[in-house]
Amino acid sequence: MDGSFDFNSVFAASDQLLLGAGLTLQLTVEAVVLGMIVAVVGAWAKTSGPNWAKSVVNVYVEVIRNTPFLLQLYFFFFGLPALGFRLTPNQAALLTMVINLGAYATEIVRAGIEAIPHGQTEAGKALGFRPLQIFRLIILPPALRIIYQPLAGQFTMVLLGSSVVSAISANELTSVANSIQAANFKTFETYLVVSFMYLLMVLAFRALFNAIYTRSFGSDGQVQRVPGL
C-alpha cells in the first residue's frame, strides 16, 4: 500500500452523487413538512383532544421513540407487503422518516404548547374564539418560537439520519456512494467526498434555519443565531 489516493473515479461519478444528494434533500424536506403536520396534530391531541386520541398518540409516540429507526424502516419496507401494501424503497424511506420525525416532534411541540400561559387560552375564550381558533391563532405561534431551536436541531438529525435508508437501497446519497465504492474500490476517497457533501448540506440547513429564525422571530433588526446549531 503506497498511501496515495485517487479521487478521479469519485469525481467522475459526480453526476450520480449530485442526484443522490438531491434525493436526500428531497426526502428530508418532504419528511419535515409532513412530519410537522403529524406533530402538530399529535400535540393538539395530547393537550386538547379527547381521551381516546390522547391514548392513541401516547402509544404512537412511545412505540416510535423506543424502537430503532432501522427496524421501523424494515417493518414498512419488508413487513407491509405481507399485509398487501407494497412500497418502493423511496416511498418506504419517506413514510418511515415522516412517522419517526412525527413522534419526536410531537413531544417538542407539546412542550411548547404547555409552556404558553393558560391565561392566553382564557382570553381567547373570552373573545369568542372556538377551540381550534385558539390553538391555531393564539397558542401555536408563540409556542413555535419557544420550540424553534430544538425543532431545527431535530430537522438536521432527519437529514443525517436519512443515510440509514440506504439499507433498503433507496437512491439517496449514501446508497449512491455504496454503489460507486463497490465499482471503483476507492473506499476512503468515496466516503471522504460524501462526508464532505453531508457537511455542506448540514451547514446549508443551519444557515437556512438561522435565517428563518431571524426573519420570523428576530427583534430590533439584530440577527439572532439559533443556539446549538
Q: How confident is the model over 19-53, as pLDDT tens digits?
A: 999 999 999 999 999 999 999 999 999 988 899 99
Q: What is the pLDDT of residue 137?
A: 83
Reduced to 3 states, what is the DSSP secondary structure of residue 174? helix
Q: What is the pLDDT of residue 139?
A: 85
Element (H, E) at 23: helix 14-48
Cα distance between residue 32 and residue 151, in whole Å: 10
CB atoms near residue 175 (< 10 Å)? 21
Average per-residue pLDDT for the chain: 89
Cβ pair 56, 45 in contact under 8 A: yes
Answer whether residue 160 shows pLDDT above 70: yes
Percentage of residues in the chain having pLDDT higher than 70:
93
Q: Does domain 8-217 have CATH number 1.10.3720.10?
A: yes
Cβ pair 198, 21 in contact under 8 A: no
Most confident of 121-130, 169-178, 210-219: 169-178
DSSP 114-160: HTS-HHHHHHHHHTT--HHHIIIIIIHHHHHHHHHHHHHHHHHHHHH
Total length of the chain? 229
Q: Does the model's pTM come out above 0.75?
A: yes
**Residue bearing cell 437556512:** 208
Answer whether residue 3 shows pLDDT above 80: no
Mean pLDDT, residues 120-143: 82
Amino acid identity of residue 191, one-letter, is Y
Q: What is the pLDDT of residue 219?
A: 52
Q: What is the pLDDT of residue 224?
A: 44
> Which 8-state DSSP code applies to residue 168?
G
Cα distance between residue 189 and residue 73, in whole Å: 28
Q: What is the pLDDT of residue 2?
A: 53
Q: What is the pLDDT of residue 105?
A: 96
Q: Which three three-digit cell numbers place residue 186? A: 476507492
